[in-house]
Structure 1
């Protein structure tokens, strides 16, 4: 008897994040790879392949593309799509929350907790498994959370939570 199917419990990702992974996969498979295959085929027809830069580079690039395609396929299969706007308890910090924080010096910072594939610290987008996201999970407005960062321990107070 087969085991019952379990719901996908992989790493979370937003619908936009999944669309970006799929767009990258489609671009590699539909555009870049066929161009490299054409170059390699043309270069192979030129004779000696041992000193043929187009052939050597093309084969190397094709391996890189195939490796990335495999990674993207596994990642898209493993991730579970969560729409932040559909979070049931929007008074607490969960996946997809945009959180305004204040430190001990009342310096304010706004972050959005997204999938690890979507993180961009420069834009205030932190990954679900980052230290600050782990520390903030389940927090309410007014809660103070301690975050262990590479440069030491820092305390942040949750000032506001919203889901977009």
Structure 2
């Protein structure tokens, strides 16, 4: 994990606030991936004294850094490394420049965003509130077999498998 030093400052477009907006949004001005929710991390390290600069030029504290897996509606899992945990941010943000560095292509048009690796479409999204939000798999969807041909849907009414 590439840790940020206490002197590192990273620009993140989205401003902080009280109303959390769920989901993952693409952000072309963010230089790192940022998440407001600790429970989204699968790997996590605490960070102290680091801050990010957000869209209203306020420095917000970074609580930690880690890895997040986003289960997409395309049945793919997008794994993001070096995601900063910033509790005060209202949206989870995916840095377009970081995706580009990792070999992904991001295209926009007709109200949609498409993230792909050459011919392979990783994920898609749509405009919501002026930003592109990735389409995620339903929370009750779990792909337990490791491929897109078999999956398990858990209904809230089912108490056992």
> TM-score higher than 0.5 here?
no
- The structure having more radius of gyration, on CA atoms, is 1
More strand by share: 2
TM range (shorter): under 0.3
Structure-1-length-normalised TM-score: 0.24
More helix by share: 1
Structure-2-length-normalised TM-score: 0.24
